[in-house]
A and B are shown apart, each in its own frame.
Chain A
Amino acid sequence: MTTDWTPAALSRDIPAASAAPGQLGETDLAIWRSASGRIAAWSDRCPHRGMRLSHGFVRGERLSCIYHGWGYGEGGQCVRIPAHPELTPPEAIKVPVFAAAEASGVVWVADGTPAGAPPEFPGFEGFRSLRIHAPATVLARAFGGAGHVIEGTLGPCAVVALIQPLPGNVSALHLLAPEGAGPATLDALSLAAEALRRTAEAQAEQAEEETA
C-alpha cells in the first residue's frame, strides 16, 4: 500500500456534520466532517455489526452508526453505546483510521503517514467529482494527458484533473476549476466533463471488445 496522498473527494461535497462514502484502493471509506469542520477518513464499517459508517450521522465531533447509534470520536475510538448508556466502551472497539487532509478544496487520504502535505494548486479550487467507468490510463488519454495529476484545458477554461484509480476498471475524476470562475464558465465546464466521461467510457468499452 502506498503512503502517498490519494484524492478521494472534494471538500465542498462533505459539508460540516455530514458523512459520505469514499475509497482508497480496495478499501471503502467513510469520509466525514465534524460540526467544527474537521475532516476524517475512516474504514466504512462499524465494528459492531458491519454497517457502513458513511450512512451514519454526525453530532458535534462524533460520527455515529445509523444502525445502533454507536458513537465514535477522536482516533476512531468508540465512546458511546446507546443500548448501554452507563457503559464506557472498551478501548478495543475502534474504527481503523486513515490519514486525511485538505488542499485546494480536495480531500486527500492515505494509508499511513505521508512524508509531506498534499499538493496545493494555487488559483484553483475543487469543482466537481465524476465517477467514470474507464481505467485511469484510458481516462488520462481521453483528456489528452498521462498520469494522475493533469493540468490542462477542458471546455472553456484551464483545469486541474486529479484521476483516482478505483477497483474494477473504474476511476474518479476530481476536477479543479479556476477560483472565481463564473456560472456560465462552470456550466460549460460541467458539460465538457460529462462529454469527457462519455468519450473515456466509449474508449474503454471499445478496448474491452477488442480484447474479448
Chain B
Amino acid sequence: MSDQGAMRDHWYPVGMTKQLTAGGRDTLLMGEPIRVYLDNGAPAVSDGTGRSLPVIDRFGHVWTSLGAPNRDLFTIPEADQPGRRLVDVGVCRVRCSPLRAVENFLDIAHFPFVHTDILGSEPHTEVQRYEVEIREDVDEVWATKVKFYQPQAAKSAEGGITTDYMYRVCAPTCSVLYKTCPPKPGEWDVIALFVQPLTETLCEVWPWMALYDDAAEMTDLIHFQQMIFVQDRSVLENQLPALLPLDPGMEIPTRADMTSIAYRRWLKRHGFTYGAQLVAA
C-alpha cells in the first residue's frame, strides 16, 4: 500500500508479550490484518497471507514490521538500570491518527486543561522556553530543559512540584519521556508511548513505564496512567481534521509547540506520512 510510505519499514508494537497465547491476537497494522501469537513459546507474527513477519520482543511488547527495517528497534538504556519497576500499562484504543497520539504525548501546554489538578492547574499555565533539536547521529527528535508546575506529577508525588521533562521521539509512532522522579531526586522516571497504527485514523496506544516508585501498588500505577490517557482520548477523538497536518497553514503553533513543530518537520522530511495530511485542505 503506497500510503504506508517510508513508515512501512519501521517497527511497531502489536501486543503485550505477557498476554500472548497460542491462539493469538488478530489485529491490524497500517490497514493490513496480522496475527500475533506464541509459536512454541516464542512470539510470532504473521500477515493475512500467512507470511511470517520479523519479530522483536522488547520493553514488554512484541514489535513487528510489514517491510524490511534497515535498523534495530531503538533502545531505552534506562530500562536496564537496577531498581526500576517496569510497568506494562495495557492498551487504549483511540479513534485518531497515530501521529496525533504521539504529538499529544509531546505536549505539555494541555496539562492544566485536560489533566486538571493532576498534571497541571490554572493559573500555572505558562510554558517556559525549552530546547528542541533533531539529533542527526541517532535521527531522533529531542526536547530538553522542559519545566512545568504540576499539582500531582506522579502517583508518588505529594503536593505540587515543578517537574523537569525531556522528550525523545525515537520512531515514527514512539516517544519516550523522562521526568523528575519524586522519590529519587537526580534520577528520571521513564514513560514511553508506543503507538500501533491500525489505520490512518485508528490506533492502539501501549504506554510503558520504568519507574523508581517502590511504594505504590502496581494496579495503582497502571490506573493512574490509564486515567491520564483516557483524558487525552477525549481530545484526540475530536480534532479536525483527523489526519495530522504536516504543511503549515492548517494549524497555528506557538513557541510552546516547538517539539510538535520539530516532530512534524521530521515526519515530513522522512516521508513518514501514514496518518498525516500533506496539503492543507
Contacts and interface: CB of A to CB of B under 8 A. Distances in A.
A29 to B, nearest CB: 12
B125 A67 contact: no
A48 B104 CA distance: 13
B126 A83 contact: yes
What size tier do the contact residues of chain B reach?
A: 20 to 34
B229 to A, nearest CB: 15
Interface string B227-269: 0000000110011110001000011111110000000000000
A81 B59 CA distance: 38
Contacts of A87: 254
B253 A48 contact: yes
B114 A67 contact: yes
Given A50-B240, A83-B109, A67 B235 contact: yes
A51 to B, nearest CB: 5
Interface string A109-147: 000000000000000000000000000000000000000
Contacts of A84: 126-127, 254-256
A82 B234 CA distance: 20
B131 interface: no
Contacts of A47: 251-252
> Interface majority SS on A: helix, strand, loop or mixed?
loop
Interface string A47-84: 11111100100000000011111000000000001111
B112 interface: yes
Closest 4 CB pairs of A and B: A82-B125, A83-B256, A83-B109, A83-B127
Given A44-B240, A51-B240, A84-B254, 20 more contacts: A47-B252, A48-B253, A50-B240, A50-B250, A51-B238, A51-B239, A55-B235, A55-B238, A68-B109, A68-B256, A69-B122, A69-B125, A81-B254, A82-B112, A82-B125, A83-B126, A83-B254, A84-B127, A85-B125, A93-B252
Interface of A: 28, 44-45, 47-52, 55, 65-69, 81-85, 87, 92-93
